[in-house]
Amino acid sequence: MIQKELEIKNRLGLHARPAALIAQTAAGFTCDISLTKDDITVNAKSIMGVMMLAAEYGSSLKLSTDGPDENAAFQAIETLFDQKFNEEF
Amino acid sequence: MLVLKGLPASPGIAIGPAVLLPGEVFSVSRQYISKQEVKSELSHIQAAIEKTFAELTECEQKVQAELGSEYANLLSTHKLILQDPVLLSSLTSKIQNEFLSAQAALFLTLQELAAPFDKIEDPFFKERRNDIYDVGKRLATNLTGDKQHFLASIHTPSLLVAHNLYPSDTINLQANKIIGFCTDVGGKTSHTALLAQSLKIPAVVGLATASKDVHAGDTLIIDGENGLLVINPDRYTLANYRKIQKDIKKTDSLLKTINHLPVITQDGHPLKLFVNYDPRTDNKDNKRLITDGLGLLRTEFIFMNTPHPPTEEEQYQIYLSVAKRFDMRPATIRLADLGGDKIPTFPLDELQQDDNPFMGCRGIRLFLKNPELLFTQLRAIVRTACEVPAQIRIMIPMVSSVEEVQHVKHAFNEVLAQFAKQGKHPVNKVALGAMIEVPSAALALDGMIGLLDFISIGTNDLIQYLVAVDRVNQEVAHMYDPCHPAVARTLNLIIQTAHKRGKEVSICGELASDSKMLPLLLGLNVDALSVTPRMYLRVKNNIRRADFEHCADLAQAALLMGSSDEIRNLIEQNNKHENP
């Protein structure tokens, strides 16, 4: 299992579009992928779960991946965070 | 006549008869099924999901073609919600293990999924609950085979009043003869509001009681410019709104005819017309405007909804993209006017709950008590100026004394020196200016004008402070009066003082786009106006129709008048004469 804290760097936070990107990306892997914020843990493959976290700009989330392709899954989602979900701000 | 105040969600004026969206019938009792029916209920729900998916795909393509990918993304999101593994597993488990009917399973699942969103405080995230309900409603419609859609049955152009409106409803609006809508709930950032803007349907949201106060067939005015709903307007109000409506319709043709023409009065007096720019609400129409530059970039938004103050790098990225948009033209960036009604979410020592926030620690007062905020923003702006050819102008908000200007100028020079040490210099000289919005700054302007390159008059606050009226207070709001003799005289004093030293004066604030007040402002010899992109061409058209000599006479007459009534009368008469 891999776990690490990630920071939200895009100014609008995890609104619908970034949440969709996370869920879509996560759905491509077989391992379990979860995001945790303030003691709430959700399935990262669920767009509704990710939106429910209401993660705003500057807050941090714990990403966990657990399963056969956990390395690749972790990297793919971490990249989304690093690239601010391809948003301008 | 009844007027309700809400939030403007989509600009424009719509007038017409009301239709009421029937209340949500989306509640289902717990229907149970027998073990033998499990299989057929599961296949029902599967079929409904497939059908909904096909519908959403079709809608997505339609929206993509008509409105572009920004809005099509919304439907892609809805498709993802439909395919959400949590939704599917909850539906399956409720049917298979709890023996609930497909409909009941769907209803309970949606309730469970949406419940956590009710606890979210941030309105932006809370709104996303509607996306879930929207998908659920489509699914339910396909499950029951109830095809008769209310909106499809409307045949005359009407205004829709609803408690709440889902994005998918909004997409169907225009085709269904709905020319404007208003809702009890909702915020400016809801998908429904964004869609209404792109469909160019006027809309007002957050009216609280509209769906109870309006009866079907009432005549309504939806004022999407000011966020108002007028129910059964009187004759005068109706006529007034029809005129505004006509003016707005002019904008499209104006764009074609005067966009490329200079901003100059009939008798050849030139003026600069800047735009108040907000990168968050930029759109295709705004991009087509040819302007003299950026007159006011409000930067408060960068400091809101963030747990820590924005870094130099974060601010730099924003200013850079804004400045590039204005190539070599002036780009005026106002230092953040925090405090007042704009309280940042990160902790600040000096910022306590003010009893009287508009007279408290706001604007430059707050920045001088938190120099790290001031220096960070100055560095980010100067760094931008070192990279781009735009004429960057820094504007200080809420100045009330010369000492404040001296402090900022000192800090500004220090920042310039820091950059010079690294061999970096602004491409063009960075100008330093002040907002004149406090009477003390207006009266003592001669003492500070020498330190400044330009000034801009913030009329909203200036008038509010001059007449000591809080516009939010219902008891005194009517006393907020742009026609007060003190307003014309103070504007005149500011402009004369600045011109004696050869400094440019611009006016930003609502007064600049008020067509009746424009002749007075022109006549007082203001150098520049800064208005919203939406008002830009209308103001430009009004300037091009004005006669400067005539305006100057009007202003001289107003300066000799001693009461609001006299000045208002003068302005009304002039307006009647110009626009018979």
In chain A, where the domains are located? 2-86
CATH superfamily, with its number, for domain B1-258: Phosphohistidine domain (3.50.30.10)
Chain A nearest-CA distance from B506, in A, is 30
**Cα–Cα distance measured from residue B417 to residue B454, given in angstroms and rounded to the nearest whole number:** 22
Q: Over range B310-330, report the average pLDDT.
A: 95
Report d(CA B378, CA B391) in Å as an integer.
15
If we measure between CA atoms, which residue out of B501, B490, B503 comes closest to residue B458? B490
Q: Note whether B78 and B56 are within 8 A (CB).
A: yes
Mean pLDDT is lowest, of B349-353, B431-435, B546-550, B572-576, for B349-353
What confidence score (pLDDT) does residue B62 get? 79
Give B237-259 pLDDT, tens digit per residue. Answer: 999 999 888 877 776 677 678 99
**A48 min Cα distance to partner chain B (Å):** 7
Pick the closest to residue B140 from B171, B166, B176, B172 (CA basis): B166
pLDDT at A64: 95
Strands B178-183 and B294-297: unpaired
More confident residue, B122 or B429: B429
pLDDT, mean over chain B: 87
pLDDT at B185 over 90: no
Residue-level pLDDT at B248: 77
Higher-confidence position of B281 and B327: B327
Q: How many CB atoms sit inside 10 A of residue B146's CB? A: 10
Give the separation between CA B45 and CA B117, rounded to whole angstroms. Answer: 25
What is the tally of helices (H) and strands (E) in chain B?
24, 16
Q: Which helix (H) or strand (E) holds B5?
A: strand B2-5
pTM for this one? Answer: 0.64
Q: Return the pLDDT at B569.
A: 95
pLDDT for B174 equals: 61
Give per-residue pLDDT as tens, B84-103. Answer: 998 999 999 999 999 998 88
* Contact status, residue B240 vs residue B41, Cβ threshold 8 Å: no
Chain B residues lying within 8 Å of A59, measured CB to CB: 307
**Count of CB atoms within 10 A of residue B359's CB?**
11
Say if residues B411 and B375 touch (Cβ distance below 8 Å): yes
% residues pLDDT > 70 (chain B): 91
Interface test with B, best of A10, A11, A87 (most B CBs within 10 A): A11
Measured CA angle at B428 (ends B512, B401), to 5 deg: 55
The token duo for B552 is: 């100057």
pLDDT at B63: 78
Could you read off the pLDDT of A29-76 as tens digits, one per residue?
999 999 999 888 999 999 999 998 988 888 899 999 999 999 999 999
Indicate whether B195 pLDDT > 90: no
The pLDDT value given to residue B472: 64
pLDDT at B514: 84
Neighbour tally for B120: CB within 10 Å: 17
Region B442-451: mean pLDDT is 97
Give the H/E segment covering residue B359.
none
Mode of pairing for the β-strands spanning B391-396 and B330-334: parallel
pLDDT of residue B357: 72
CA distance B5 to B507: 27
Q: Examine the pLDDT at B350 and tell me if it is beyond 50.
A: yes
Identify which has the larger pLDDT, B472 or B568.
Answer: B568
Q: Which residues pair with B508 in a beta bridge?
A: B458, B530
pLDDT band at B162 (very low <50, low <70, confident <90, very high): confident
Least confident piece of the model among B277-286, B387-396, B421-430, B561-570:
B277-286
Query: What class has domain B264-562?
Result: alpha beta
Q: Is the model more confident about B5 or about B255?
A: B5
The model's confidence at residue A2, banded by pLDDT at 50, 70 and 90, is: very high
Cβ pair A16:B128 closer than 8 A: yes
Q: Note the pLDDT of residue B445.
A: 97
pLDDT given for residue B147 in this prediction: 44
| pLDDT at residue B279, as a whole number | 83
Q: What is the dihedral of CA B535, B538, B539, B541, to 10 degrees?
A: 160
Question: What are phi and psi for residue B184, nearest 5 degrees?
Answer: -70, -40
Q: Is the separation of the CB atoms in B220 and B17 below 8 Å?
A: yes
Please list, residue by residue across A33-65, b when 16 or more beta carbons sit within 10 angstroms of its beta carbon and e when fewer do.
bbbbbeeeebbbbbbbbbbbbbbbbbbebebbb
Q: B28: pLDDT confidence band, cut at 50, 70 and 90?
A: low
Is domain A2-86 classified as CATH 3.40.640.10? no
Instruction: Please state the domain extents for chain B.
Output: 1-258, 264-562
| Cα atoms in the 13 Å half-sphere on the side-chain side of B396 | 32
% residues pLDDT > 90 (chain B): 50
- Once rounded to an integer, what is the mean pLDDT over residues B486-491? 97
Mind giving me the DSSP string for B262-296? Answer: --B-TTS-B-EEEEE--GGG--HHHHH---S-EEE
B42 or B147: whose pLDDT is higher?
Answer: B42
Chain B residues whose C-beta is within 8 A of a chain A C-beta are: 73-74, 76-77, 80-81, 84-87, 113, 116-117, 120, 122, 124-126, 128, 131-132, 191, 279, 302, 305-308, 314, 317-318, 321
pLDDT tens digits for B356-395?
Answer: 777 888 899 999 999 999 999 999 999 999 999 999 999 9
**Residues of B whose CB is below 8 A from A19:** 77
Compute and round to an integer the Cα radius of gyration of chain B: 27
Average pLDDT rounded to a whole number, residues A2-25:
89
B104 contacts B85 by C-beta, under 8 angstroms:
no
Give chain A's contact residues with B (Cβ, < 8 Å).
Answer: 11-13, 15-17, 19-20, 23-24, 27, 43, 45-49, 51-52, 54, 56-59, 88-89
Give B299 or B165, the one with higher predicted confidence: B299
Whether residue B23 is predicted with pLDDT greater than 80 in this model: the reply is: no
Q: Which of A13, A49, A58 sits opposite B308 (nearest CB)?
A: A58
Say which DSSP state B260 is in. Answer: T
Q: How far apart are CA B232 and CA B221, in angstroms?
A: 8
CB B307 to CB A58 under 8 A? yes
